[in-house]
A = this chain, B = another copy of it.
């Protein structure tokens, strides 16, 4: 493209960071209709407004989601993007790929789509960015034939995603990839056929470092952790110390509960595990020397979401600890119990957090069969405004009877 034609966008080809403009341009060389994307985009840059129309329902046979319909206000001026739908392709857990797999996707998308992608969307999908309505079904068919399926959209389960976990991380306390795959496969129907009050997201992180942003970005976050003692290799502690790591300053002083003691002479670490909150910091800094314990499982947190409607939510601890072993029956039962409750009680476009807040944590925990635990709360309530159920109470007495009797006396 000439800089004169798209001066604003051209400016964004400069500089050291790889440029999305260059990517579009590169595509336009092979697929000239993508010049219309540049054209529309330049116009947006000039006018500071989107030129995409609101929504548009398109899909493939049998599915209620997986495609985001998109039409342009500039259809006349930019016919190449008059229709520009996105397909969400369900990524392999952990975003590991063979080049063969990637090339297959590229080939299909060269044939049926714009040739532009997002690797990846915020939820985790492979985003195939821009195609026309007629191309949707053949594209899907060919993806499916090659072993790929669509991810979620709409009021459905959304594509679960997971951190690298045991595939490439020494900190993983649970098998994030396997859990991710298992949930995705088990709940294909929930993923493809929107039948709920609103969207629902799973994310799986192998440890509290949360490399997949599960706590903020999923209604149901599965975060690896452990219950027993941190494993210490004192030899390696010594080596770190000798290599110049300031164990007192970097580790001990940063422990949130100050439960680590360091013997400067012996170069040994002692941890009071009853006060450890499993924050990972010491393990992060000294990965050779410290490891999560052996009694591993996950904390289940629920309700994470963006601000619309009731403000942003970091997900809340619901099950402090759950063992995570295939086929993850307990996990599945729990999610199904949550969906049952949500189905029955959720309002249209009400996320799980909002539902829990509306009906109260007591009703929610009871419905999903989880016991109350102080680990679910940051602090107990400051208002003594709570409910009792008939079974908590003795038979009722009426104050009027007592008073009237008293008034009549003598």
Q: Interface on A for B, CB 8 Å cutoff?
A: 43, 47, 49, 51, 73-77, 307, 311-312, 382-385, 399, 402-403, 406-407, 409-410
Contact = CB atoms under 8 A, between A and B. Distances in A.
Contacts of A383: 307, 311-312
A49 B399 contact: yes
Contact of A47 (B307, B382, B384, B402): B402
A406 B407 CA distance: 83
Nearest to A314: B382
Contacts of A311: 382-383, 385
Given A383-B307, A385-B311, A43 B77 contact: no
18 contacts: A43-B406, A49-B402, A49-B403, A51-B406, A73-B403, A73-B406, A73-B407, A74-B407, A75-B407, A76-B407, A76-B410, A77-B406, A307-B383, A307-B384, A307-B385, A311-B383, A311-B385, A312-B382
B51 A409 contact: no
B406 A74 contact: yes
Contacts of A399: 49
A354 to B, nearest CB: 13
A51 B406 CA distance: 9
| Copies of this chain held together in the complex | 2
Contacts of A410: 76-77
A152 B134 CA distance: 78
Nearest to A43: B406
A406 B39 CA distance: 13
Contacts of A73: 403, 406-407
Contacts of A51: 403, 406
A385 B311 CA distance: 8
Contacts of A47: 402
Contacts of A403: 49, 51, 73
Contacts of A49: 399, 402-403
Nearest to A312: B382
A407 B74 CA distance: 6
Contacts of A76: 407, 409-410
Contacts of A43: 406
Given A51-B406, A76-B407, 5 more contacts: A49-B402, A73-B403, A73-B406, A73-B407, A311-B383
Contacts of A409: 74, 76-77
A43 B403 CA distance: 11
Nearest to A410: B76
The winner among A49, A402, A406 for most chain B CB atoms within 10 A is A406
A75 B402 CA distance: 14
A76 B408 CA distance: 8
A74 to B, nearest CB: 6
Nearest to A306: B383
Contacts of A77: 406, 409-410
A46 B402 CA distance: 12
A207 B409 CA distance: 55
A307 B399 CA distance: 25
A410 B39 CA distance: 14
A407 B77 CA distance: 8
The winner among A49, A384, A407 for most chain B CB atoms within 10 A is A407
